Amino acid sequence: METKKIIQVEDKVGVDLLIPLSLQHMFAMFGATVLVPMLFQINPSVVLLMNGIGTLLFILITKGKAPAYLGSSFAFLGPAGLVISQWGYSYALGGFIAVGLAACIISFIFYKFGIKWIDVVLPPAAMGPVVALIGLELAQTAAKTGGVIATETAPIDPKNVTVFLVTLIVAVLGNVLFRKFFAVIPILIAIIAGYITALITKVVTGDQLIHALQSSFIHIPNFQAPKFNIQAILMILPVILVLASEHIGHQIVTSKIVDRDLVKDPGLHRSFFADGISTMLSGFVGSVPTTTYGENIGVMAMTKVYSVQVIGGAAVLSIVSAFIGPIAALIQTIPGAVIGGISFLLYGTIGASGIRVMVDAQVDFSRSRNLTLTSVVFVTGLSGVALKIGEVTLTGMVLACVVAMVMSLLFYVFDKLGLTNDK
């Protein structure tokens, strides 16, 4: 513990630590957060700007008690893609605003009725696998991003595999072997090692590097206004189920990591309200919806650095990079093999946090309900089975969460009626 001292949520760090620690968080979220606007075919700069602003608002609204970075949400890709194909991106922005408003309303329900019902709806035997699925279902995404899984259009390139492995190995060994200052920035060091390997193997060329450094110094993000259409809104609005499930899971994971009950203090009503406000603001200026980021949760778990000052520093760097051309261009040259190598480890860490939920709660698997609940939730999340409701498809962790809540409520009712055989 002396070589990897815990830096708690309220702790401050000096500039000599703040800059590299903030860079580490920024690099961890960057690959995923710019992928969403690229898929929507909009400029990532406005997203980097609003992610930074949203994160600072989150810190303010949660009174600096909940360390979380708000990045681009993948939950909207399906329904928003349909809206964009029919009406255009401006109408998708109107849907984003509606979902953000719905999140604010739900946060009021959290405030009014408390959170004790969560133990009924998602007991540890259900919450543990749901949380684990946040990381586990993204494992294949990390491998694909890293280029170590072949597809019909992209066969495996030994160069990408080399970069992926160097990044992953440095992250793993750094987390176990690094001491003192280096013990808190193993992810950043791994990214640098991976990038250097990418230059050596020509995954990133010298011309790309020079072109990025020669970009115009000042860059103004492309803003655009939203438009509203009731059909478009109704197509996107069900995503609120995804956001709520993801947010609760992330807050519980983070609570376990920092050893504080963030669900109670600052409370889900504050954190989910902040998430909703950030998504609404993003919709008004042409950005993408935001959500608390698993990548940054993974960084905190690996480094034992939980300071909101560091998260805030990453947010400021994101805002600055949105306006400085060479920085934004240079970061965009980081290859997928590097991002994939880091994500491979970080997603696994989140999965392990879900198992920790069950261990800490001392879940008794000799009881039929616990064994059944955990088994069905895991299989639902990993099987690939999907449930389509209108234009929204529930699958993976989100569908598993819905199944977990339904089963938990049924078991609760059976208990009250004295029907269960393992009480």
> What residues does each domain of the chain span?
15-416
pLDDT at res. 78: 66
Task: Give dist(CA 345, CA 348) in Å, integer.
Answer: 5
User: Is the pLDDT assigned to residue 1 strictly greater than 50?
Assistant: no
Predicted confidence at residue 181, as pLDDT, reads 66
How confident is the model over 251-261, as a mean pLDDT? 89
Mean pLDDT of 239-259: 83
Greater model confidence, 387 or 283: 283
Which of 189-193, 271-275, 345-349, 362-366 has the weakest average pLDDT?
A: 345-349
Q: Which residues are within 8 A (CB) of 192 and not within 5 positions of it... i.e. 6 or more apart? A: none
Q: Rounded mean pLDDT of 71-95? A: 85
Q: Which of 37, 92, 86 is nearest to 237 (CA)?
A: 92
The two structure tokens encoding residue 276: 């909703």
Whole-number average pLDDT of the chain: 85
Q: Which of 171-175, 202-206, 366-370, 392-396 comes out lowest in average pLDDT?
A: 392-396
pLDDT in tens, 99-133: 999 999 999 988 988 777 777 888 888 888 887 88
Q: Assess contact for 163 and 169: CB atoms under 8 A.
A: no
| pLDDT exceeds cutoff 90 at 387 | no
Nearby residues of 1 by Cβ (< 8 Å), 6 or more positions away: none
Residue 65 pLDDT exceeds 90: yes
Q: 2 pLDDT band (50/70/90 cuts)?
A: very low
| Residue 230 pLDDT > 90 | no
- Range of lowest pLDDT (45-49, 159-163, 392-396): 392-396
Place 31 in a pLDDT band, splitting at 50, 70 and 90: low
| Residues of the chain above pLDDT 70, percent | 94
pTM of the model: 0.71
pLDDT surpasses 90 at 358: no
Q: What is the mean pLDDT of residues 41-57?
A: 91
pLDDT digits (tens, 9 = 90+) for 127-150: 888 878 877 877 777 788 788 887
Closest of 340, 356, 264 to residue 301, by C-alpha: 356
